[in-house]
Amino acid sequence: MESLFLRTAATLIVPLQIGLSVFLLLRGHNEPGGGFIGGLVCAAAILLWGISRDFPTARRLMRLHPTTLIGLGVLTAVGSGLAGSLLGLSFLTGVWAGSIPWLPFVGEVKLGTPLYFDIGVYLTVIGVITQIAFALEEAD
Amino acid sequence: MILSALLVLVAGAAAAPLLYRWMGARAGWVLALLPLVLFLALAARLPDIADGRPIAERTPWIPSLGIDLAFRIDGLALLFLLVILGIGALILLYGSGYLKGHPLQGRFFGYLLLFMIAMCGMVSADNTILLFVFWELTGIASYLLIGFYHEDAKARSSALQALLVTFLGGQALLAGLVLLSIATGGSFSLSETLEQREQVTAHPWYPAILLLILFGAFTKSAQFPFHFWLPGAMSAPAPVSAYLHSATMVNAGIFLMARMAPALAGTELWRGLATTAGVATMLAGALLAYPQADLKKLLAYSTVSALGTMILLLGLDTVLAVKAAMLFFLVHALYKGALFMAAGTVDHETGTRDVRVLSGLAKAMPLTTAAAVGAGLSMCGLPPLVGFISKELLYEAKLAAPYIGPAVTAAGVAANVLMVAVGLIVAFRPFHGTLNHTPKPPHEGKWTLWLPPLTLALLGILFGLAPGLIDRGLIAPAVSAVRAQETEVTLKLWHGINSVLMLSIATVATGFVVFRLRHRARPAAERIAQSGPGSLGPARLYEWLLEGMVQCAKFLTHTLQHGSLRGYVGVAVSVMVAVTGAALLRVWSPAALVWDFSDLRPYEGVLLIAMIAGAVFAALSNSRLAAIASLGIVGFGVALVFGMYGAPDLALTQLLVETLTLVILVLVIYRLPRIASRSTPRQQIADAILALSAGAVITVLLLIAQNLHPEPVLRDYFVQNSLEAKGRNVVNVILVDFRALDTLGEITVLAAAALGVGGLIWLRPRRKQPEGGES
């Protein structure tokens, strides 16, 4: 599937896509977006990289093995729930602590366990999609 | 204090493999200190508990369900705890010698401690659910211990058998405990429940409660006809048999009956069920034990008989019988534990357990012989051993039983005669006479192999000579707990010449004669075992049921998981059409449909036509790639529809999922061959009918749904409350805050699915040439 057009386009598009995925993740609480959608965009970027070049390169781009990413994601989500438990509230109760007043494109980002939870979802989704895609790509 | 003691044992169990790596078999010596210290600490509290001041504590666990980590050590729990911890310490010592050099010895110590935790927790639990949890934990630990030689298929199947039979009882027990809690007003507190005897026995559910709880007790204590798992469990290493199958786990059922007696005993049903099971087991165990040639089988069946005796005594339900039961529990644990260990030592040092081969070991193994003979005499009930006192009390209790006294006494004498013979075969035969040839030249084992059984045998003599050591301090509080009233117990070695003594003398004399006849009995027993009735035992039924279950599971799996994607989709869609269609028929009327397309905008119409065209083209296409691309048109069309009607999050998600599905499908498609054969025309027609009816049902559903305008309660709630959760995007707030637990569940499912896909693809056996067809 080597194609110069695709390759050049991917070089331009993939960084934008990854930036977009983080943007979607962070603004999700107020505008359309969120961890699930952000994760899908990021996974699509990695797959685009893999298709335009080759999949081992895409794996290296990820640094972490998809399985590790899945584990990290689920643990992050569980961990965000434990914050409530530790404060004597019930599991997964939202706990908020301050905010970042302004980030480029996003604006104000409120910091709290729901954001942390969403990051867990984001990581899990990236891990799941890439795991399945890599497995299928390598199968024979 | 109790909870922390259990946690100390947990730490010991976890550290066992590491400790073993560091100091080898001697890790057992160090670990034996844990139960020893707890034993001494408890023994120091003995006077308090004997005075009726139990140790109690409570830590909340699941307060909303009334389940606490509540513990209470009264006389009954204390008796069992001392046996569990005392013998447990000796078994750890013995295991360090018996399994020396086994690569998994560290794990073995861990399992033993785990089992000890489960037993200690069970006997001291003061919450019925907690009791059940520990009850099942003993089953799991025993599964690991019985199957310790896991490379041996027989050990594995025996372990599974023990697990399944006792778990079956465990399920019944749980049901019984829950019913009991409902009948007593919803409390799971054991001590509160036990005080409500009147309410329980008068309750209409009483028979069900009693049957279920006794079923649990009977399976755990290997009562006839569930006795077969116990001899099977002899594939375990000797320390396990000595610990689990003589002194502790099999007595869990006895404990349960004794523990529940204050609330459940005292009725005809209790007496009838327990005495019937007890007598049947006592006789069956004794008859099955006598003709065995394997030392461990002999001991296993005699344990079955002894357990039957204890159940019978608890069933007789008199003060005297309970006294006899509690004393016999202690006595049996002492002599049977010693005999199992001595048998293990003999096996370890000579290489055989066959009593037809073993002979004249006394000179080579004097200390093991001393332990075995000491314990064997107690088993036969000879003075001055504590076994004698126990048997006297047994006979006294049986004779005094109302109505059925003569019958149970006769059964008891018959069983005891056989027990005397078995005792002589086990503890006398291998050591007496001239030395026979054995696989290994016999010699005395290391000190860890003879000291533990000898300790137990000596205790049997000590308690026989000085019964004052145990009667007031240990047995009386246990009996008081079972009878729920203060009870005096005084034990004496010599009662004078009376009918009980005559029975004892007759038993021993007849037992000796029966012992001499054993060579004639064995062939006869073998013939019976191989002929008709012998092969139809409950063990066969178990095998038959197990095999049937596996076959049934296979059949179901083949029927439901046939691997044809078309089949799965067909079933799912047919069910949807049938169920939704049936519901729609009930509200159907032509007027219910809203045929109003006046506000359809032109671009919406174009989109719809494109989607329909995509679907039709996908159905007719001959190429997979073309079909997928045209399905993509449908998917992106749906995403646009979501976007137009004000669901941007949904539209985004649909768009992305559609894209990624396309990519993944393309990855798969490359590996599939061309579509080799299309469905037959008949199949195509059937598929078309199904597809069209599904479409029709959904269309009608949507048209009818136009009429419904439910109150927007949820929408208003979420809109009002999402700002409190600091978000303006309601969809996202629901996902990560209001319903975060659902999301957590979903990503866990996703994670499991991805791991499964990876496993299936990466771990499958490699094939040389990719083959495949339409699937």
pLDDT along chain B (775 residues), means of 10: 88 90 88 93 89 88 87 93 94 91 89 94 94 94 91 89 90 95 88 89 93 94 87 87 88 94 91 93 90 89 94 92 94 94 91 86 88 91 88 87 82 90 89 83 86 92 89 89 87 80 89 86 74 64 88 91 86 94 84 75 90 91 84 91 87 90 80 71 89 92 78 77 75 85 93 90 63 40
Quote the pLDDT of residue B36: 94
Name residues whose C-beta falls within 8 Å of residue A104's C-beta, 6 or more positions apart in sequence: none
Instruction: Please tell me the distance in Å from B655's CA to the nearest CA on chain A.
Output: 10
Which chain B residue's Cα is nearest to A34? B732
Contacts of A28 in chain B (CB under 8 A): 729, 732, 736
Q: Does A39 touch chain B (CB under 8 A)?
A: no
Nearest CB partner across the interface for B664, out of A94, A121, A136: A136
CATH 1.20.120 fits B576-709, yes or no: yes
Domain ranges of chain A: 4-138
Helix (H) or strand (E) holding A107: strand A107-112
* B645 chain-A contacts, CB cut-off 8 A: none
Residue A103 φ/ψ, nearest 5 degrees = -130, 150
Q: How far apart are CA B720 and CA B714, in angstroms?
A: 10
Are A133 and B667 in contact (CB < 8 Å)?
Answer: yes
Query: What are the tokens at B450?
Result: 């003879």
Within 10 angstroms of residue B472's Cβ, the number of other Cβ atoms is 15
DSSP strand pairing (A96-103 vs A107-112):
antiparallel
Q: What is the pLDDT of residue B381?
A: 87
Return the pLDDT at B540.
Answer: 80
pTM (2 decimals)? 0.75
Supply B470's token pair: 């145990």
Distance from CA of B350 to the nearest CA of A (A): 53
pLDDT value of residue B529: 67
Dump pLDDT digits (tens) for A89-124.
Answer: 888 888 888 888 888 888 888 888 889 999 999 999
Whose CA is closest to A125, among B634, B670, B735? B735
Cβ contact, residue pair A28, B729, below 8 Å:
yes
Nearest to A136 among B667, B731, B732 (CB): B667
**Partner B contacted by A96 (CB < 8 A):** yes
Contact by Cβ (8 Å): B333, B403: no
What pLDDT is recorded for position B536?
A: 60
- On whether any CB of chain B is under 8 Å from the CB of A108, the answer is no
pLDDT given for residue B334 in this prediction: 94
The SS3 assignment for B293 reads: coil
Tell me which chain A residue has its CA closest to the CA of residue B764: A139
Give the orientation angle of helix B405-427 with respect to helix B366-380, to 10 degrees. Answer: 170
From chain B, which residues contact A within 8 Å (Cβ)?
Answer: 648-649, 652-653, 656-657, 659-660, 663-664, 667-668, 671, 725-729, 731-733, 735-737, 740-741, 743-744, 747-748, 750-751, 753-755, 757-758, 761-762, 770
Chain B residues closer than 8 Å to A110 by CB: 726
Binned at pLDDT 50, 70 and 90, residue A53 comes out as confident
Measured CA to CA, the distance from residue A114 to residue A28 in angstroms comes to 11
* Local structure of B526: helix, strand or coil: helix
Q: How confident is the model at residue A140, as a pLDDT?
A: 61
- The pLDDT value recorded for residue B767 is 55
3-class SS letters over B581-598:
HHHHHHHCCHHHCCCCCC
The pLDDT of residue B775: 36
